[in-house]
A = this chain, B = another copy of it.
């Protein structure tokens, strides 16, 4: 995935838009808003959260449109879906490259982590299963510092 190394939000935004244009996907106001929202977001919003936050600025936007746009971004590889146990909601994460999520079992907070040396099992798995590997996602469950105190 070559389109996942950007130094700042502006770069990332421009890159997404130009990629979409190349593919003949139209750049609408709501689409721009969703892209920007995801790029600027530090955590992992759900469709509902995005909808609620953007509604004041885009009163006519519908929830279905948020879902439509998320779908496009996922298909184009700019966004990854995250799911948590005991929760039917889907969360969205801009820049879907290999990375590491740490999830608090108590409060549900999801923290991204830069794995210094995230070991790749790609070769081993490919050999053992014959799968053509596209992405690795390591999810770690635990209890966050705040919940440990409480």
Binding site for B on A (CB under 8 A): 74, 81, 83-86, 88, 90, 100, 102, 104-105, 111, 113, 115-116, 118-119, 121-122, 124-126, 128-145, 148
Contacts and interface: CB of A to CB of B under 8 A. Distances in A.
Nearest to A116: B124
14 contacts: A83-B84, A102-B125, A104-B131, A105-B134, A111-B129, A113-B125, A115-B124, A122-B140, A130-B148, A131-B145, A133-B141, A133-B142, A136-B138, A136-B140
A36 B91 CA distance: 33
Contacts of A118: 121
A135 B140 contact: yes
Nearest to A135: B141
Given A85-B90, A115-B124, 20 more contacts: A81-B85, A83-B84, A88-B88, A100-B121, A100-B125, A102-B125, A113-B129, A115-B121, A119-B119, A125-B140, A126-B142, A129-B144, A130-B144, A134-B141, A134-B143, A135-B140, A135-B141, A136-B141, A137-B138, A137-B141
